[in-house]
Each structure stands twice: as C-alpha cells, then as structure tokens.
Amino acid sequence: MKVRIIGLFLLFEALFMLITSLVSLYYFYKCGDGDVLAMTVSTIITAISGFVLISAGRNKNPIKYGKQNIDTFELKDSFLIVTITWILFTLFGMLPFLLNGTIDNVTDAFFEAMAGFTTTGSTILNNIDEQPHGILFWRSITQWLGGLGIIVLFLAVMPTLNRNSNKVMMFSAEMSGIGVKKLHPKMMMTARKLLGIYIILTILCGFMYWLGPMNTFDAICHALTTLSSGGFSTHQASIGYFNSPYIEYVASVFMFASGVNFSLYYFLFTGQGKLFRDNEELKWYIGIIIVMTIVMIALFYYAPALDTVSVNEDSFPDGLEDRFRTSLFHVSAVITSTCFQANNFDYNIWGGLFLIPTFIMMASGACAGSTSGGIKIIREVICLKSINNIFRHLLHPNALFSVKMSNEVVDDDKTRRVVNFLIVFLLLFVLGILLLIISGCSLRESMFNCISALGNSGPGIGTTGPAFSFSEL
C-alpha cells in the first residue's frame, strides 16, 4: 500500500508535467520554443514509474476490517512517505531541465528542482529570460505544488486511502506546523477547503497582475510563485523587470496574503470573522510588518550617516512614496520567504544596517499554516511566553503559569515540541555555517546563505544575493 501511494504521487506529478507539455506545445507553434520533447519525455518517464510502483505495491495480504481490505500505517510511516515523496518529486522534477539542456549536470538540476518544490526560490540560472516558456512554467508549477504542500494537494484531489486515520496522519506529517485548525471532521474535506482557498487567491492574484503591464503568461507564472511564497520569476530581474509601482503594490498585498494561516481565510469567508480578528499570531504578523516597514523607511533616510559599512546611496529609492513602497515590498517579500526583487533594488548593496532586519525576517517567517518558510511567528511567541513564565516563576515559586495563544492554553506537549524544533533549527543553522565556511564562504555569507536555505527564502548575500544566482558556489 505504501509503495502504491508513492506511485500515485508520481502520477500526480506526471499530470502537472502533462499540463506543462501542453503549454510547451502552444508556444512551440506560437514562437518556436524547443522544449516540447523534453517535457513530453519527462511526463512519460514519470507516469511509467508511477504505474510500476502502483503495480509493485499491491497488497497481496490485506488486513480484513469488516467487508473491506485495509492497510494501516503509523505516523512514522507517514513521515517516511512524505520524505520519499519529496525526494522523488525532485528527482523526476529535474528531468525537464536535464533533457532540455537548460541545466547540463545532475547536481544543478536537482538543486533547481528542490529549490522549486520547497519554495526556497534559489536558482543557478543566469539566463532566465532566454529559457523557453514550458521550462519557465514548470519552474512556477513546482513552487505552486510545494507551496501548500504536495501531500495536502494530493489528498484534496486523489482520495486513495481507505481509512480517515491514515489521511489524518498523512496530513499531519505534511502540515506539521501548529496553528492549522481542523476545518472539517473529515481530513479530506479540510484538504479540499484549503486547496479551494489556495486556488481562489492564486486566480485573483494572477488577474490583478494581468491588469497591469504583465502579459497573460507572466501573470500566471508570477501568481503561482507569489501565493506559494516561492519567488521564481520569468525574468532575471524578477519583479523589477516590469518597473511598475502597481505590480509592486499588488505583489506586496498577495505576498502578505500568502503569509496568513489559510484556515483563517476559511473562517473569514464562512462568517466566522471573530476567529480571524482575534487570532493572536495574525496580530503579531501585522505588527511585525508595520514595525519592519517603518524601520526600513528610517534606514533609507538615516543609514548613510549611521552605517559604518559602505552604503550605495544611488541604489536607494527616491522620495517618501518610493521608499514606503520599496520598504513594504522588501518586508513582505522577506518575511514570507518569497524574496522577489523590485526595481533592481538590492539589499545586498544598500549597506550593512539593512542586513540586520533582513536576517531577522528571514529567520522569523510568517504564520503557521501558510505557505511561508522560516521558524513561524507562533513558535517564536510561544517560546518568548515560555521564557517569560520561567522568570515569573522565579519571582512567584508557588504560582502556576500557562502559555496562551488567542486566549487558548497551549499544552506542555506543544510547548516542548516548539522548543525542540528551535533547538534542531539552531543546530542545523550552526552546522550549515560550518560547512559553508569549510567550502570557502565568508562568515557573513555563510550565515545568510544558511538562514536563507533553512527559511526557504532563496537569495543570500554577496555572490548569491538577489541580483545573482547560486551558480558561483
């Protein structure tokens, strides 16, 4: 059964490859793009592999439950399936890059595909504008699939598991971040509701992009990577290619939207606005964006006088509205791990003081249950409240204190999981820094590149900054 499920996942991926093949075929007749064969062969290979795994995974000795044959698995099996699925998605997802010649080696192709499915947004491509439409569309599709979670999308459209408990475990293994509320007694319906919200927001975002200077293709691709907090663009200059304040404002709004817990949208759309308004994590999220935007605006005015690191004032936005727009865009892009680049402005050359809030936001991330990366705000708040309770307990040894979020008590088990997550995150961060230093990176570049990878942000600093790619590493 477990092998069969993995095979079905590959068929799921092949379906989106088929859609991309049709896009490639359209642009082959329209402008002579030559990626049709690569996409078609990739689709066939992925589909055949899926059918082989389905055939190999048929359960010959199923457990009898009433009149139904079932196959149960534990939570650890669900985590294993999720892990294998992500690896296989990446392995097969890199085929279009290799077969088309877009990327000429397996390592770089695997990196590009993994950056897509994990919505990290890092890239090794230095000639994005020269790529055929099918390849560009596939890059966007990989991020859209990875945004809400491959498993969640799969459960929403391909009900294959025989027991709801198995679905719950699969859903939990994918959406492990706390703060994702159960919207419906059946997990399948929960997944479908989340997918519906995801699709609606993507369509709305694409339509708003299309109303501006973006053509239909660019609007669709950027909508897919905006709502997924991915950051892949169809142009090397990213959003800055369009040189449009309208596009930057639209991108800022929908990047913000991608950082909100998607279950809150359901409550909002179903008349449960109180649950939306009273959500404490959302209030923290909005507050952080407001504060960081003000900080960025202030830095644009005062950094030249305060910064001891070289400041490129020529790259600064000019005027209050321009600085507000650039600051809002930068904050929305970084905290949601989307990391689009606007108007050719690059925090890499703004000066050292700009790197501090950028680093903090990369590590922080947005809300749990969103498509953003990072630690997630709810975990950070729970950790801070736990630390506060420790000091309060020192002052009042006999008092009992509890951690509350949105007026609900967070049980000790969840608090321990948050602390364990932060410890593991910190250990991986330190390990990543050491490995990058050994590979020849400076300490500053190592710190930024590592937090960018762990937080699924994408760009680092130096040779891996927003205006460059990871091809130099």
C-alpha 434/C-alpha 413 separation (Å) is 32
In a domain, 109, yes or no: yes
In a domain, 446, yes or no: yes
In terms of pLDDT, which residue wins out, 380 or 176? 380
In a domain, 281, yes or no: no
C-alpha 470/C-alpha 230 separation (Å) is 16
Q: Quick check: 177 pLDDT over 60? A: no
The confidence score (pLDDT) of residue 411 equals 82
Residue 21 backbone dihedrals phi, psi, to 5 degrees: -60, -40
Residues 243 and 381 in one domain: no
Expressed as residue numbers, the domain containing 40 is 2-247
Average pLDDT, stretch 7-33?
93
The confidence score (pLDDT) of residue 471 equals 61
Q: Is residue 395 very low, low, confident or very high in pLDDT (cuts 50, 70, 90)?
A: confident
C-alpha 200/C-alpha 392 separation (Å) is 45
The confidence score (pLDDT) of residue 69 equals 43
Q: Quick check: 124 pLDDT over 80? A: yes
Q: What percent of the chain has pLDDT over 90?
A: 44
3-state helix, strand and coil shares in percent for the chain, rounded to the nearest 5: 65, 5, 30
Average pLDDT, stretch 231-252?
93
User: Which of 358, 318, 195, 326 minimizes the C-alpha distance to 249?
Assistant: 326
Q: Which residues contact 433 (CB under 8 A, 6 or more apart)?
A: 443, 446, 447, 450
In a domain, 464, yes or no: no
The confidence score (pLDDT) of residue 67 equals 44
In a domain, 100, yes or no: yes
The confidence score (pLDDT) of residue 397 equals 84
Q: Is residue 252 very low, low, confident or very high in pLDDT (cuts 50, 70, 90)?
A: very high
Where does a domain end: 205, 227, 247?
247
In terms of pLDDT, which residue wins out, 459 or 93? 93
State how many domains the chain has.
Answer: 2
Please report which helix (H) or strand (E) contains residue 16, including its range: helix 2-31
In a domain, 16, yes or no: yes
The confidence score (pLDDT) of residue 178 equals 43
Q: DSSP letters of 351-396?
A: -HHHHHHHHHHHHH-S-TTSS--SS-HHHHHHHHHHHHHHHHHHH-
**Which pLDDT tens digit goes with each residue over 375-394?**
999 999 999 999 888 888 88
The confidence score (pLDDT) of residue 370 equals 86
Q: Quick check: 68 pLDDT over 50? A: no
In a domain, 178, yes or no: yes
The confidence score (pLDDT) of residue 257 equals 94
Q: Is residue 241 very low, low, confident or very high in pLDDT (cuts 50, 70, 90)?
A: very high
* Lowest-pLDDT range of 14-23, 227-236, 262-271: 262-271
Q: Quick check: 165 pLDDT over 70? A: no
Where does a domain end: 247, 263, 279?
247
Q: Quick check: 171 pLDDT over 80? A: no
The Cβ of residue 84 has, within 10 Å, a number of other Cβ atoms equal to 15
Q: DSSP letters of 382-449?
A: HHHHHHHHHHHHHH-TT----EEETTEEEPHHHHHHHHHHHHHHHHHHHHHHHHHHHTT--HHHHHHH
Bridge partners, 68 (sequence order): 65
The confidence score (pLDDT) of residue 63 equals 45
Most confident of the ranges 16-20, 415-419, 461-465: 16-20
Does the pTM of the predicted model rise above 0.95?
A: no
The confidence score (pLDDT) of residue 65 equals 41
Tokens, residue 156: 């929403």
**Which pLDDT tens digit goes with each residue over 321-354?**
999 999 999 999 999 999 888 876 677 778 888 8
**Which pLDDT tens digit goes with each residue over 218-228?**
999 999 999 99
Q: Quick check: 70 pLDDT over 50? A: no
The confidence score (pLDDT) of residue 234 equals 94
Average pLDDT, stretch 10-38?
94
**Which pLDDT tens digit goes with each residue over 422-454?**
999 999 999 999 998 998 888 888 898 899 888
Q: Is residue 306 very low, low, confident or very high in pLDDT (cuts 50, 70, 90)?
A: confident
Q: What percent of the chain has pLDDT over 70?
A: 85
Where does a domain end: 215, 247, 279?
247
The confidence score (pLDDT) of residue 151 equals 65
Asked whether 163 and 68 are in contact (CB, 8 A), the reply is no
Q: What is the mean pLDDT of the chain?
A: 84
Q: Which amino acid is at 244?
A: S
Q: Quick check: 3 pLDDT over 80? A: yes
In a domain, 275, yes or no: no
195, 197, 202, 203 alpha-carbon torsion, rounded to 10° = 110
